[in-house]
Amino acid sequence: MKPLGRFFQVTETTDVKKYFLDIDKLEKFPITFVVKSSEKVENLKRKIKEGAEKQYGIEAVVNKYISCIEEIINIRNYLGTLRK
């Protein structure tokens, strides 16, 4: 059963252990990460996935965790929404 609303977690890192610990705490429900970074969202996602592949090495595990990341919002995205 999916919770109503969205879960947000603010972070300054792309450390896979931190992301996946937060996902585990929510029992693998979707979570949106707000990252204090001006780096492109695609690059942040790629770094997280690469870190997960190095740490776990099992594609099914990596894909399960990655699928729990509903969205990544960075400084560029956030500032863009404020200007609208």
Does 43 map to a domain? yes
Backbone angles phi, psi at 82, to 5 degrees: -70, -30
Domain count, the chain: 1
**19 located within any domain:** yes
- The CA distance from 30 to 27, in Å, is 9
Q: What is the pLDDT of residue 50?
A: 93
In a domain, 48, yes or no: yes
Q: Is the pLDDT of residue 40 over 80?
A: yes
12 CB-side CA count, 13 A: 0
**Vertex 43 angle, CA 25 and 65, to 5°:** 25
Verdict on whether the full-model pTM lies above 0.95: no
Range of the domain at 46: 8-83
Residue 3 placed within a domain: no
- pLDDT-derived band at 80, boundaries 50, 70, 90: low
Angle at 3 between CA 49 and CA 51, to 5 degrees: 10
